[in-house]
Structure 1
Amino acid sequence: MTFIGTSSLVIALLFCIYALICLVVGIENKNSKLLLSGRGATLSVAFLSIVASLILIYFLITGNYQIKYVYQYTNKDLPIFYKFAAFWAGNAGSLMLWTLLLTIYTAVIAFPLKRVFNKYLAYAVIVLLMINIFFLSVLIFITNPFELLPVKPADGNGLNPLLQNPGMVFHPLTLYLGYVGFTVPFAFAMSALITKKVDDWWIKTTRRWTVWAWLFLSLGNLFGAQWAYVELGWGGYWAWDPVENSSFMPWLTATAFVHSIIIQERKNMLKIWNMFLIIATYLLTIFGTFLTRSGVYASVHSFSDSSLGSVFLSYIILLAALSLGLIFHRLKLLKEQRSFESYISKESSFLFNNLLLVGGAFAVFWGTNFPIISEAIRGVKVTVSVPWYNQVMSPILLGVILLIGICPLIAWHKSSYENFKNNFLIPTILSIIFAVIGYYFIFSKKLYATIGFTISFFALITTIQEFVKGVRVRRKVVNEGYLVSLWRLISKNRRRYGGYIVHIGTILIAVGIIGSNAYKIEKEVRVKLGDEIAINDYTMKYKGLEMTKEGSNQIVFAKLKVKKNGKSIGILKPEKVFYKTWDQPSTEVAIYSTLKEDLYVALAGWINNGKYVDLMIHINPLVIWIWIGGYILIIGSIIALWPGKGAQLNPKYIL
């Protein structure tokens, strides 16, 4: 069956090349038979990728350890849940997943070619096929997932303990759905440049694809942060690791793109800007692949394959040169025919939002690559630390949140004094009152935290105000209850109010980030059996060290009886898990979570058979609001994507 798997990939590559030739010749000669043949070959490529992927999954689950990839990432004791997740645990498998998704997306885009001759669609498929050829070639010639070992081992190495977490299933899969999803709008943008049709057709055609990809990229980042929080044991959720940054950078530019395309749809403006944004987003998704495989960046997520790194770097340079060359070649066609009428308008707020997001992406890009740049220039690798990222990105975050609050309240074209007075007066007064009360009575006179919470409060009030206004208008026209009116308001204007729900989720994420950074408490202690530890409102009594077994794994855990303000809240059991195939144990933290804060405890070590244990204790305020906000953001995206009349762009509204 390994022969069938490898053969499927080789035949898929040949079909891909054949489909590319058919479509190019078919378009030039307007030959519908060639177009249909190319379409059929494109669908076959997806089918063959599915076959190869299913074969690899079968080998992983059944444990054919003569296959090098199966040997490296599974063993007999690994639960089937993680045997399936091992599909994308290493280089070959993760690129197989990328190729699988890419070929399926390409087939979906190519499918309508059967019904109508559309050269714009055909050119988009051609671009997608060229990208397919690259990834299939990498799989076949550089990192074949079906490579065999000379002798079949009795068992495999197993999966890295850090990867044995439910996040291993959901985080990479959603991240790749987002990464690969941005190939589609990129391909249509290139088609628009090739065919000289640079109006908003390609944006309207791919809007759902764009939001779809953005949704999954958002989910991928959210799942990754949750996974890091519960698995790594350091007390945080985002460490500005190079590979974490690699998924955050395209998310920033994609968020700018999602907002910017509205201006092109409504005003036929920002054509060049949108081209640059989608190219930057796609290139950054590939750059993330380069980061994980280059071996030049230290990261817990890295696959460290320098040969693949150089291949992807060459691909990025070639793609950047070709796409940017196309933009400059079509510059006259992309020239703006309209300009901004006022700096105080909805259009301008979108542009300022974009500048902040792109500026944030550049800052993260610079910080990620600065060690390599410094080593090349000065011969010394200078690492950019977490405080630097926080100092740079904090004002950018607050700027984006402030614009979330301002944008719904200002008019298109140009805002008047009356507009400002009617829309801003009440939210501004309420925010000032909130800031004064918060500074003196809630936020411990921490100025930066007060500013952050006040901006978030202002944005939340103005966003909720839009829902209140909409419900009031409906109730004046139709006699409905408040909840019915709210439901129908959202369902009939899904794109607008789905966007507002996304904004609410973003505001809550900001609240969680501000609170967890401004008020976190950390403590490292060595405690004796029977002793109590006091930290903030909590007391923990160490009741002993115990051991249990789960499959072939040995689990050592400390029992901590926890009280808050003298009231018992239960037993926490931070763990160390010892795996048969790994030298180092993994840390499994114990978390007591409330809407106010998380009590986060990690077992660092022990001596004298558990008479003394070393604990890392964190109190992380408001962290749960990051997760709540993240899932509200996802719900809003789904509402905005949901098909039907309410998903269309209403000229009065914004996403």
Structure 2
Amino acid sequence: MLGDLGAASLTAGLVSAVLAVLLWLRVALLGAASRPARLASAGALLAAAAACGLLEAALLAHDFSVRFVAENGGRHVPVYYTITSLWSAMDGSLLLWLLILCGFGALLARRRAPDRLRAYAMVVVSVVTTLFFALSAFAADPFQAVHPVPLDGPGPNPLLQQHPAMGVHPPLLYAGYLGMVVPFALALAAPLAGRAGRDWVRVARPWALAAWATLTAGVAVGAWWSYAVLGWGGYWAWDPVENASLLPWLTATAFLHTSLDGGRSRERWNTTLACGSFLLVLLGTFLTRSGAVASVHAFTESPLGPLLLGFVLLAVLAATVLTGRNRPAAPGAGRAPLLSRRTAVLVNAVLLVTVAAVVLIGTVLPLLTEPLTGARSSVGPGYYQRTAVPLAVVLLLLAGVTPALWVRDRATALRRLALPGIVGLATVAAIGLLSRPGPAVLTAFGAAAFVLTGLLTEVTARRRRPGRAWAAALAHAGLALVAVGVAGSAAYGQADERTVRVGETLRVADVSVRLVSVHRSLDEGRMVVRATTELSGNGTTRTATPALRYDPARDTAVTVPAISSGPRRDTYLTLIAVAEDGGSATLRLAVNPLVGLIWLGGALITVGGLTALAVTARSRRPRRSEPADRREPAGVPA
């Protein structure tokens, strides 16, 4: 019953999405009433919500006659992870994807009298919605019937049942991804809308801010989740699927810079970046759901791969055709002075796009070389450390330079840069004399000190005028803290892995761990092996209990590290293996300094984006004296 209703909801959603395409095209071409088109978009949203609700109901009711439940549900799975298992596998995650996509479409369509720009943009969003409904209904239908009906299911991947971030990270990431569809749609609609499309950047910027802030939070939570669950002691491995989340973030960051003040003098940049951000989202979707890359984050191989690749190529073709026509240069689009904010913004965009290109090459190169050589080449972290990391340090330095260029007087700008420059050089000298961590790490520390000092100076100077400058300061300060956390953990982190017998000690730096005992138990149908240890450091001794969990339904063993976090460093203990007699265990002890700054920096960047969004919303609210028929609706996105 639930399966039949779910399949019917997908069909209804597909029909509603097709109707929305036609009705919004009618509004754009003929100026017809928008109410039927808005109802069609609302119908697609209701259908997506119904499909998600019905699959959740099937999961909670353990209805194993539904294929998705039979493959990913289980009576032994806790309720929280039963709910989150909706997006634990490809078919169910596509329903969440559809729900968020339809939600953005409904928000964009909410104006009762949309102009031609929004009408054409809704055509684009509705086409994207139609294609994803078709994928879900015909190639990835989670409601297919199962015969015979099993008595129980294996549950989701054990890695997805260990941490509450499972309920936060994928929805945040999807919301950030799909928020990019609105700037993409507006960029494609602008040349079709004529004069109404001239102001598309101003309309798109709040949407881009909302998507960028959400994507930032999703990436940061994902790094933290990986750090807390996978047991390897790291937070970023330049995994292809990790890279797929970074790519649109980089280009969206560039768009937020080039779209400052309306971005009329950077029209081609804005169009390219708005389109490129969503095209990279589609490419990441292909990599994640096609089985093209081997990753702990990716879904298994599926028939969606060729369809998604075709969708990516179709979107690239549409973007090229619609935005490739020549347009007259906007006023003020000439050359800018070398030492100016406008030049700094363009250099920033060029660097961000260059970093994105470097990461993209490293991500897709193995896929391109396999048909030619017959073997898939690998691109390891060393490639990114030699290419992307130096560019990122230059970007960080530029983030400290740009605020000083808000003034037109060059002498004043240079004076503002003097104190941050002195502090940055002093930081490099002090750290270099004390520890000699290497040129890359020294540069990162110096750049971070330069940025933080410059931001402190600028914020102090603007203390009576909070607004966009404060939002940028928060985001750039967060970026500097992330740089310090990454550089510090990479340069000063220490780890050792060794097999120790009960009573023996493993030592790393000034931290030691003594194995006390090893014991096995059954926990919710799983075999759990725990190592009880005494962890000593900083003059204190405490108990730490890392574990190994074996899931017989999935025939998978996962690690459960014991992490002790502090303001200066984390102590990270992992149980790798145990002897049959329980007399010894292989432990990995890592001391990771300054890792907490990465999570704090990610939070600050997100808050900076949300602050900018709030400032934009406040600036767009109509004045009381403004005629009612000319007012923009309050709130963001608009």
Cα deviation code 1:416-469 (max 9, x no counterpart): 2x124421222222222222222112x335333222101110011001111111
How do 1:365-514 and structure 2 match up within 5 A?
365-411=360-406, 416=410, 418-441=411-434, 443-444=435-436, 446-471=438-463, 474=464, 489-490=465-466, 493=467, 495-514=468-487
Report deviation, 1:580. 3.9
In structure 2, distance between residues paired with 1:198 and 1:620: 54
Deviation at residue 555 of structure 1 after TM alignment: 2.2
SS at the partner of 2:299? coil
How far is the alpha carbon of 1:10 from its aligned partner? 0.9
Aligned to 2:546: 574
Q: Offset at 1:117?
A: 5.0
Deviation at 1:13, TM superposition (A): 1.5
How far apart are the structure 2 equivalents of 1:425 and 1:337?
30
Partner of 1:484: none
Mapping for residues 273-288 of structure 1, pairs under 5 Å: 273-288=269-284
How does 1:592-603 map onto structure 2 within 5 Å? 592-603=564-575
* Separation (CA, whole Å) in 2 of partners of 1:26 and 1:424: 53
Counterpart residue identity of residue 635, structure 1: V
SS in 2 for 1:605: strand
- Residue 229 of structure 2 corresponds to which residue in structure 1? 231
In the alignment of these two chains, the number of paired residues is 619
Corresponding letter in the other structure for 1:467: V
Partner of 2:16: 15
1:625 matched residue in structure 2: 597
Which residues of structure 1 form unaligned runs of 5+? 475-488, 650-655
1:298, CA displacement in angstroms? 1.0
Which residue identity does 1:407 align to in structure 2?
Answer: T
- The alpha carbon displacement at 1:137 in A equals 0.7
Q: CA deviation at 1:58?
A: 0.6
Query: Match of 1:359?
Result: 354
- In 2, the alpha carbon distance for the partners of 1:22 and 1:392 equals 48
Mapping of 1:476-555 within 5 angstroms?
A: 489-490=465-466, 493=467, 495-555=468-528
Q: Return 5+ residue gaps in structure 2 as ranges.
A: 622-638
1:382 to 1:409, Cα distance in 2 relative to 1, 3 A? same
How does the TM-score come out when normalised to structure 2?
Answer: 0.93
Please state whether the residue corresponding to 1:76 is helix, strand or coil.
Answer: coil
Aligned residue in 1 for 2:624: none
Q: Distance in 2 between matches of 1:645 and 1:57?
A: 35
Conserved 8 A contact 2:202-2:262: no
CA drift at 1:375:
2.2
Deviations for 1:99-135, whole angstroms, at most 9, x for unmatched residues? Answer: 11111211121121x2x25222111111111111101
Mapped partners of 2:615, 2:356: distance in 1: 31
Q: 1:282: how far off? A: 0.2
CA contact (8 A) 2:366 2:379 kept: yes
Q: Indicate the SS of the match to 2:303.
A: helix
How big is each residue's C-alpha offset from its partner over 1:370-421, in whole Å with a ceiling of 9 and x where there is no partner?
Answer: 1122223333422111111112121111111101110001146x652x1244
SS of residue in 1 equivalent to 2:63: coil
Task: Select which of 120, 123, 138 maps to 1:123.
Answer: 120
- Aligned pair in 2 of structure 1 residues 545, 309: CA closer, same or farther (>3 Å)? same
Identify the residue that residue 633 of structure 2 maps to in structure 1: none
Q: How far has the Cα of 1:198 moved from its partner?
A: 7.8
For residues 66 and 445 of structure 2, the distance between their equivalents in structure 1, rounded to whole angstroms, comes to 54
Q: Give the C-alpha shift of residue 552 in structure 1.
A: 2.5
Percent identity reads 29
Aligned residue number for residue 103 of structure 2: 104
Contact 2:459 2:469 in 1 (8 A): no
Q: Secondary structure at the match of 2:259?
A: helix
Q: Which residue of structure 2 aligns with residue 588 of structure 1?
A: 560
8 A Cα contact 2:427 2:445, kept in partner: no
Distance 2:609 2:139 in 1: 38
Question: What is the aligned partner in structure 1 of residue 310 from structure 2?
Answer: 314
The 1-side partners of 2:170 and 2:210 are apart by 16
Equivalents in 1 of 2:158, 2:261: separation in Å? 47
Q: For residues 496 and 161 of structure 1, what CA distance do their matches in structure 2 show?
A: 44
- In 2, the alpha carbon distance for the partners of 1:66 and 1:625 equals 47
Where does residue 146 of structure 2 map in the other structure? 149
Q: Aligned partners of 2:619 and 2:151: how far apart in 1?
A: 56
Q: Give yes or no for the alignment of 1:637 onto 2:609.
A: yes
Q: TM-score, normalised by structure 1?
A: 0.91
- Say which SS state the counterpart of residue 530 (structure 2) adopts: strand
**What are the within-5 Å matches in structure 2 for residues 337-348 of structure 1?**
338-348=333-343
What CA distance in whole angstroms lies between the structure 2 residues aligned with 1:391 and 1:576? 35
Aligned partner letter, 2:426: I
Counterparts of 2:335 and 2:196 in 1: how far apart (Å)?
20
The answer on 1:213 being equivalent to 2:214 is no
Match of 1:158 among 149, 155, 172: 155
| CA deviation map 1:157-213 (0-9, x unaligned) | 211111112222111110000111111111111111222348652121122211111
Assess if the C-alpha contact under 8 Å between 1:344 and 1:415 holds in 2: no
Q: Could you tell me how far 1:337 is from its partner in structure 2?
A: 5.2
Matching residue's letter, 1:8: S
Q: Contact (CA 8 Å) 2:521, 2:528: kept in 1 or not?
A: yes
- 1:264 deviates by 4.0
**What is the CA-CA distance between 1:25 and the residue it aligns to?**
2.7
CA distance in 2 between partners of 1:151 and 1:584 (Å): 25
> Over the residues paired in the alignment, what is the CA RMSD in angstroms?
1.9
Is the Cα contact below 8 Å between 2:248 and 2:278 reproduced in 1? Answer: yes
Map Cα deviations across residues 511-560 of structure 1 (whole Å, 9 max, x no partner).
11111111221211111111122210112111111234433333211111
2:201 and 2:270 in contact (8 A); partners too: no
Q: Is the 8 A contact 1:196 1:333 kept in 2?
A: no
**Structure 2 CA distance for aligned equivalents of residues 615 and 242 of structure 1:** 29
Could you say which residue in structure 1 is the equivalent of 2:168?
170
Check the 8 A contact 1:263/1:347 in 2, yes or no: no
Matched, 1:328 2:320: no
Residue type at the aligned position of 1:61: L
1:178–1:117: structure 2 CA closer, same or farther, 3 Å change rule?
closer
Residues 160 and 306 of structure 1: CA distance in aligned 2, closer, same or farther (over 3 Å): closer
* Deviation sequence 1:74-123 (CA, Å, 0-9, x none): 100001111111111111111111111111211121121x2x25222111
**Per-residue deviation at 1:334?**
5.6
Aligned to 1:65: 64
Quick one: structure 1 residues 117 and 372, their matched pair in 2 at CA, closer, same or farther if it must change by over 3 Å?
Answer: closer
SS in 2 for 1:591: strand
